[in-house]
Amino acid sequence: MADTPATPPNPPACRKCAFVFEAGMTFERCPNCGTPTQAPPEERGRVILPRLTSLPLPGTPIGSIRKTPANATLEGFFVPPTLVGDRPASERTDAPRSPTSRPPSQPAPEAGSGEDDLPAPVSTTRPFTLPKIATATRIAVPAVLDSRDLENSAELDLPHLSEMSMVTARAVSRSDDVDVDLADIKAETRELPTQPDAPLPPPRPQLQSRRPTVVLTPTTPEPGALAYAGLVGLFAALVASFWFHYARGEEASLVAGSYAAKVLSDPAAIRERDERLAALFDDDTMDGYLAAMAVAEQTEDPLGRAEAALRIHLRYGPDPVRESQAKTWLAATVQRENFRAERIRGLAAIADGEPATAQGLLAVGAEPGVTLYRGLLALAAGNHAAAADYASEAMSLRPGDQAARWLAFAAELAKDRRATLDPLRDAADRQPQRPTLQLLLVDALISRGRLAEARDRLEALVREPGVSDMHQARVLVRHARVAAASVEVSRSVYWADEAIKLAPRDPEVVHASLRVLIEADELARAQQGLTARLRDAPDDLEAQVLQAELALRASNESAALRAIEKLAAETPTLIESMFLRGRLALLTGELGDAAGHFHDAANAEPPHVRAAVEYARLRPRDEDTLALLDRLYAKRSRDPTESARADLRALALARANVLVELNRREAAVATLDSALAQDPDDNAAQMRRGGLVLDTPRSDAGRVDLLAVYERTGGFAGLIGPLSRLYIRSGELRALEAMVQPHLSDVRAPDEVVLAIARLRLAQDAVEAAESLTDQILLRSPDSWEGHLLKAKVLLARGEPALAQAELRLSRPSQANPDVELAAGKIAERSGRLQDALANYRRAHLLAPTLHEAGYLYGHALLQLGRAQEAVTELSAVTRATEAFPAAFVALGQAQYERGNFEEARRQLQRAVALAPGLTEAHYWLGRCEHDLQLDAEAAISLGRAVRGAAPGTAWLPDAHLWLARAAEAHGDVATSRTAYEEFLRLAPASAPSRREAERALARLTRPP
Question: CA-to-CA distance for 807 and 793, rounded, in angstroms?
Answer: 9
Other beta carbons within 10 Å of 894: 27
Note the pLDDT of residue 73: 45
> Which pLDDT band holds residue 193 (cuts at 50, 70, 90)?
very low
Note the pLDDT of residue 223: 66
Whether the predicted pLDDT of 702 surpasses 50: yes
525-548 burial, b at 16+ Cβ within 10 Å, e below that, comes to bbbebbeebeeeeeebebbbbbbb
Query: Would the pTM count as exceeding 0.75?
Result: no
Exposed, middle or buried: residue 740 (CB in 10 Å: 0-12, 13-18, 19+)? Answer: buried
Cis peptide before 801 (omega within 30 of 0): no
Number of domains present in the structure of the chain: 4
CB 909 within 8 A of CB 920: no
Q: Are residues 939 and 896 in the same domain?
A: no
Q: Are residues 731 and 808 in the same domain?
A: yes
Note the helical H segments in 266-301: 267-283, 286-298
**Looking at 812, 846, 865, which one is the last position of a domain?**
812
**Cβ neighbours of residue 48 under 8 Å, at least 6 residues apart?**
42, 81, 82, 84, 121, 123
Q: Model confidence over 585-597: pLDDT tens digits? A: 999 999 999 999 9
> Which pLDDT band holds residue 992 (cuts at 50, 70, 90)?
confident
CB 929 within 8 A of CB 896: no
Q: Model confidence over 796-812: pLDDT tens digits? A: 999 999 999 999 999 98
Helix, strand, or coil (residue 213): strand
Q: Are residues 937 and 1008 in the same domain?
A: yes
Q: Model confidence over 301-337: pLDDT tens digits? A: 899 999 999 999 999 989 999 999 999 998 877 555 5
Q: What are the phi and psi torsion angles at 47 (to 5°)? A: -105, 130
Question: CA-to-CA distance for 301 and 263, rounded, in angstroms?
Answer: 9
Instruction: Give mean pLDDT, residues 896-914.
Output: 92
Question: CA-to-CA distance for 331 and 967, rounded, in angstroms?
Answer: 108
Q: Are residues 907 and 949 in the same domain?
A: no
Q: Model confidence over 432-477: pLDDT tens digits? A: 989 999 999 999 999 999 999 999 999 999 998 889 999 999 999 9
Whether the predicted pLDDT of 26 surpasses 80: no
Note the pLDDT of residue 825: 95
Residue 652 to residues 345, 631, 996, Cα–Cα distance (Å): 46, 12, 74
Q: Are residues 903 and 930 in the same domain?
A: no
Exposed, middle or buried: residue 154 (CB in 10 Å: 0-12, 13-18, 19+)? Answer: exposed
Q: Are residues 946 and 970 in the same domain?
A: yes
Whether the predicted pLDDT of 20 surpasses 50: yes
Note the helical H segments in 398-461: 402-415, 422-430, 435-448, 451-460
The pLDDT > 70 percentage for the chain reads 77
Amino acid in the structure at residue 337? E
Note the pLDDT of residue 307: 92
Strands 212-217 and 168-173, by their bridges, are: antiparallel
Residue 507 in domain: no
CB 822 within 8 A of CB 788: no
Question: CA-to-CA distance for 601 and 580, rounded, in angstroms?
Answer: 10
The pLDDT > 90 percentage for the chain reads 57
Residue 262 in domain: yes
CB 740 within 8 A of CB 754: no
Residue 742 in domain: yes
Question: CA-to-CA distance for 311 and 322, rounded, in angstroms?
Answer: 9
CATH of the domain at 886: 1.25.40.10
Q: Which residues pair with 943 in a beta bridge?
A: none
Question: CA-to-CA distance for 168 and 165, rounded, in angstroms?
Answer: 8
Residue 62 to residues 65, 68, 177, 326, Cα–Cα distance (Å): 6, 14, 13, 69
Q: How many residues does the chain have?
A: 1009
**Looking at 316, 349, 368, which one is the last position of a domain?**
316
Residue 185 in domain: no
> Which pLDDT band holds residue 36 (cuts at 50, 70, 90)?
confident
Whether the predicted pLDDT of 649 surpasses 80: yes
Residue 938 in domain: yes
Strands 47-48 and 82-83, by their bridges, are: antiparallel
Q: Are residues 985 and 947 in the same domain?
A: yes
What is the crossing angle of helices 995-1006 and 974-987, to 10°?
Answer: 140
Instruction: Report the phi/psi class of residue 92: left, alpha or beta, with left for phi > 0 and alpha for psi in -120 to 50.
Output: beta
Whether the predicted pLDDT of 110 surpasses 60: no
Residue 886 in domain: yes
Note the pLDDT of residue 13: 78
Of residues 368, 394, 200, the one with CA closest to residue 274 = 368
Other beta carbons within 10 Å of 254: 10
Instruction: Give mean pLDDT, residues 346-363.
Output: 91
Exposed, middle or buried: residue 203 (CB in 10 Å: 0-12, 13-18, 19+)? Answer: exposed
Whether the predicted pLDDT of 830 surpasses 80: yes
Please enumerate, as own/partner, the contacts of 897-900 that have beta carbons within 8 Å and a separation of 24 or more.
897/925, 897/928, 897/929, 898/863, 898/868, 899/868, 899/869, 899/872
Minimum mean pLDDT range among 198-207, 702-711, 725-734, 751-760 = 198-207
Highest-scoring range by mean pLDDT, 142-151, 644-653, 894-903: 644-653
Q: Model confidence over 72-107: pLDDT tens digits? A: 444 444 445 444 444 444 444 444 444 444 444 444
Note the helical H segments in 46-160: none
Question: CA-to-CA distance for 673 and 690, rounded, in angstroms?
Answer: 11
**Cβ neighbours of residue 997 under 8 Å, at least 6 residues apart?**
none
Question: CA-to-CA distance for 753 and 721, rounded, in angstroms?
Answer: 7
Highest-scoring range by mean pLDDT, 81-95, 228-242, 263-277: 263-277
CB 518 within 8 A of CB 550: yes
Q: Are residues 922 and 907 in the same domain?
A: no
Residue 762 in domain: yes
Note the pLDDT of residue 842: 94
Whether the predicted pLDDT of 199 surpasses 60: no
**Looking at 842, 877, 911, which one is the last position of a domain?**
911
Whether the predicted pLDDT of 140 surpasses 60: no
Strands 168-173 and 123-124, by their bridges, are: unpaired
* Mean pLDDT, rounded, of the chain: 81
Minimum mean pLDDT range among 36-50, 299-313, 398-412, 977-991 = 36-50
The maximal CA–CA distance of the chain, rounded, in angstroms, is 176
Q: In degrees to the nearest 10, what's the CA dihedral of 487, 489, 492, 494? A: -160
Exposed, middle or buried: residue 332 (CB in 10 Å: 0-12, 13-18, 19+)? Answer: exposed
**Domain, as residue range, for 785:** 718-812
Residue 394 to residues 60, 286, 399, Cα–Cα distance (Å): 89, 20, 8
Question: CA-to-CA distance for 243 and 566, rounded, in angstroms?
Answer: 72
Q: Model confidence over 749-768: pLDDT tens digits? A: 999 999 999 999 999 999 99
Minimum mean pLDDT range among 173-187, 301-315, 504-518, 639-653 = 173-187
Q: Quote the DSSP letter at residue 215.
A: E
Instruction: Give mean pLDDT, residues 11-26.
Output: 72
Residue 879 in domain: yes
Please enumerate, as own/partner, the contacts of 52-60 that have beta carbons within 8 Å and a separation of 24 or more.
52/77, 52/78, 53/77, 53/78, 53/79, 53/189, 53/190, 53/191, 53/192, 53/201, 54/185, 54/189, 54/204, 55/204, 57/176, 57/207, 60/176
Question: CA-to-CA distance for 437 and 405, rounded, in angstroms?
Answer: 9
Q: What are the phi and psi torsion angles at 108 (to 5°)? A: -70, 140
Note the pLDDT of residue 151: 45
State which H helix or E strand residue 908 sits in. Answer: helix 902-915
Other beta carbons within 10 Å of 141: 18
Of residues 444, 468, 960, the one with CA closest to residue 458 = 444
Whether the predicted pLDDT of 338 surpasses 70: no
Q: Are residues 949 and 1005 in the same domain?
A: yes
Question: CA-to-CA distance for 441 and 437, rounded, in angstroms?
Answer: 6
Minimum mean pLDDT range among 359-363, 525-529, 752-756, 833-837 = 359-363
Question: CA-to-CA distance for 75 and 184, rounded, in angstroms?
Answer: 12
Instruction: Give mean pLDDT, residues 8-22.
Output: 70
Q: Are residues 805 and 845 in the same domain?
A: no
Q: Are residues 791 and 838 in the same domain?
A: no
Helix, strand, or coil (residue 180): strand
Note the pLDDT of residue 881: 86
Q: Model confidence over 369-386: pLDDT tens digits? A: 899 999 999 999 999 999
Whether the predicted pLDDT of 388 surpasses 50: yes
Residue 815 to residues 724, 728, 785, Cα–Cα distance (Å): 20, 22, 11
Question: CA-to-CA distance for 423 and 413, rounded, in angstroms?
Answer: 11
Helix, strand, or coil (residue 509): helix
SS3 letters for 828-883? HHHCCCHHHHHHHHHHHHHHCCCCHHHHHHHHHHHHHCCCHHHHHHHHHHHHHHCC
Note the pLDDT of residue 144: 44
> Which pLDDT band holds residue 1008 (cuts at 50, 70, 90)?
low
Q: Quote the DSSP letter at residue 170.
A: E
Q: Model confidence over 43-76: pLDDT tens digits? A: 554 444 444 444 444 444 444 444 444 444 444 4
Whether the predicted pLDDT of 683 surpasses 90: yes
Instruction: Give mean pLDDT, residues 741-754.
Output: 91
Q: Are residues 934 and 1005 in the same domain?
A: yes
Note the pLDDT of residue 507: 94
Whether the predicted pLDDT of 195 surpasses 70: no
End-to-end CA distance of the chain: 172
Task: Report which of residues 102 and 613 the model is more confident about.
Answer: 613
Note the pLDDT of residue 63: 44
